Amino acid sequence: MNSRFPSADEYSAQKARYGSLTVVDIGAYQRTVSDRNDVLSNINGDCMRIAVFEGEYRWHYHPGSDELFLVVEGKLQIDMADKDTVELTEWQYVVVPAGTVHRTRAIGRTVNVTYEKQGAQTVFVERAD
């Protein structure tokens, strides 16, 4: 795993950067960071994250949470075990069901917003390609 991303425990324990009634300019925020995966806000037991990265993330799954990926900038490929790869470009999204083993691959610098349960458990797995 690339160390720029959080461990499974760090991932699920992240706190939101912004509270309710805070106006957040995602465009401005994403221009100031790279190689990040942060919780921006909590919403009704779910959270909104932003990932700004290049390259690939580790194979993993979330046993108790669906995960919605919305690409804001760039191109994101999502490889799924035993399923076809999904490719998203700007303003496209897909929902990866809970328990689906997957990994994300940013083709160049990619910014994506994700929605999932707050504190969603992440399980990293080894996968031979």
Query: In Å, how far are 29, 62, 69, 127 from 23, measured between CA atoms?
Result: 12, 29, 21, 40
Q: How many structural domains are present in the chain? A: 1
Which residue type occupies 118? Answer: Q
Rounded CA separation 116/42 (Å): 10
Can you give the pLDDT at residue 128?
55
The confidence score (pLDDT) of residue 116 equals: 97
Which CATH number is 79's domain given? 2.60.120.10
Residue 112 lies in a domain: yes
- Does 82 fall in a domain? yes
Q: Could you give the angle at the alpha carbon of 23 between the alpha carbons of 15 and 20, nearest 5°?
A: 45
Quote the CA–CA distance of 73 and 34 in Å, as a whole number: 13
Distance (Å, whole) CA 122 – CA 8: 5
Q: What is the pLDDT of residue 5?
A: 66
Distance of CA 5 to CAs 56, 57, 79, Å?
A: 11, 8, 18
* pLDDT computed for residue 106 by the predictor: 97
What is the full per-residue pLDDT of the chain (129 aa) written as tens digits? 344 567 888 888 999 999 999 999 999 999 999 888 899 999 999 999 999 999 999 999 999 999 999 999 999 999 999 889 999 999 999 999 999 999 999 999 999 999 999 999 999 998 755
Whole-number pLDDT of residue 122: 93
Residue ranges making up the domain that contains 81: 8-124
Tell me how far the alpha carbon of residue 21 is from its chain's centroid.
23
Residue 3 has a pLDDT of: 46
| Residue 67 included in any domain | yes
- Domain membership flag for residue 1: no
Beta bridge partners of 73: 111
Which amino acid, residue 111?
A: V
Q: What is the largest CA-CA distance in the chain?
A: 45
